[in-house]
Amino acid sequence: MLSTLLQLASLAALAHGHGYISSPPMRMPGNATTSACGKSVVADIVKDKTSHVEGLPELAAKDAGYHASQCNLWLCRGVQFADNAANVQAYAPGQVVNVKIALTIPHVGSANVSVVDTKTNAIVGQPLLSWPSGYADEKQFYGQTLPANQTDFNVTIPTTLDGKCATAGECVIQWWWYGTGARQTYESCIDFTVAKV
Ligand SMILES: *[C@@H]1O[C@H](CO)[C@@H](O)[C@H](O)[C@H]1NC(C)=O
Ligand SMILES: *[C@@H]1O[C@H](CO)[C@@H](O)[C@H](O)[C@H]1NC(C)=O
Ligand SMILES: *[C@@H]1O[C@H](CO)[C@@H](O)[C@H](O)[C@H]1NC(C)=O
Ligand SMILES: *[C@@H]1O[C@H](CO)[C@@H](O)[C@H](O)[C@H]1NC(C)=O
Ligand SMILES: [Cu+2]
């Protein structure tokens, strides 16, 4: 009985997916994230790469491998740069970059795509794209009328960075989505550099 319940619970957890950046390659956890955030957080994201942030802090707190000073779950779900160092995108100021989102379960809310300073977790300048409301609306999603530009869009690399984000790991492009009714946050990150011109 208990094992059946556990199986059902894990199936539900697997099915409860939401969204992630499918292109360019997003940060996925590896050993550096295990060292910073602990095994439980890594297992959660590996099991479901669309998973939300809420729930992770509680999971992490119970894990001896979690180091709050090194693991900010509210930036890229805590996934560390070192685990994605092989996938750093080199962009030029003004370059148009296509981004694709795998959206598996909708929750209407707000979203933005932003350059984020990884030291401060602050958006650099203005969001590259922003949906103040109406993102991932259930009615549109299940009615197959979700605007294509919510999951396949272009962002333009700012021309005003002036040397900021020149070093790999300094900045990420983060897709951030908050489902208002579900009270769930999704974060997915692209590592990139922009050379100073
Ligand atoms: C990650 O850690 C595991 C277990 O400690 C080890 O076997 C593996 O070689 C490590 N991988 C990398 C890429 O360092
Ligand atoms: C944009 O994303 C950030 C996370 O990077 C979040 O804190 C902020 O509330 C979002 N703003 C809007 C208007 O969606
Ligand atoms: C996205 O597409 C919708 C129509 O599906 C359009 O109304 C809207 O202006 C587009 N938004 C952007 C930012 O291009
Ligand atoms: C993105 O930009 C490319 C090149 O400018 C263009 O061909 C493509 O249609 C754009 N995609 C979207 C979703 O706007
Ligand atoms: Cu949900």
Q: Kindly list the domain boundaries of the chain, sorted by start residue.
A: 19-194
Angle CA 125–130–136, to nearest 5: 150
Mutate to test the pocket of ligand 3, among 99, 129, 149 (most ligand atoms within 8 A of CB): 149
Centre of ligand 2 from the C-alpha of residue 87, in Å: 25
Query: Ligand 4 pocket, 94 CB below 6 A?
Result: no
Ligand 2: residues with CB < 6 A are: 110, 112, 114, 116, 123, 127, 130, 132, 174, 176
Centre of ligand 5 from the C-alpha of residue 158, in Å: 33
Residue nearest to atom 13 of ligand 3 (CA): 149
| Tens of pLDDT, residue by residue, the chain (197 residues) | 444 444 444 444 444 569 999 999 999 999 999 999 999 999 999 999 999 999 999 999 999 999 999 999 999 999 999 999 999 999 999 999 999 999 999 999 999 999 999 999 999 999 999 999 999 999 999 999 999 999 999 999 999 999 999 999 999 999 999 999 999 999 999 999 998 88
In ligand 2, the atom with minimum distance to the C-alpha of 123 is: 5
Tell me the CATH architecture of domain 19-194: Distorted Sandwich (2.70)
Centre of ligand 4 from the C-alpha of residue 100, in Å: 11
Centre of ligand 2 from the C-alpha of residue 176, in Å: 7
Query: Ligand 3 pocket, 147 CB below 6 A?
Result: yes
C-alpha neighbours within 13 Å on the C-beta side of residue 30? 9
Best CA proximity match to 83, nearest among 74, 71, 92, 91: 71
Q: Are 71 and 57 contacting, i.e. CB atoms less than 8 angstroms apart?
A: no
Q: Counting every residue, how long is the chain?
A: 197
Asked if omega into 106 is within 30° of 0 (cis), the reply is: no
Q: How much is the pLDDT for 68?
A: 97
Q: How much is the pLDDT for 172?
A: 98
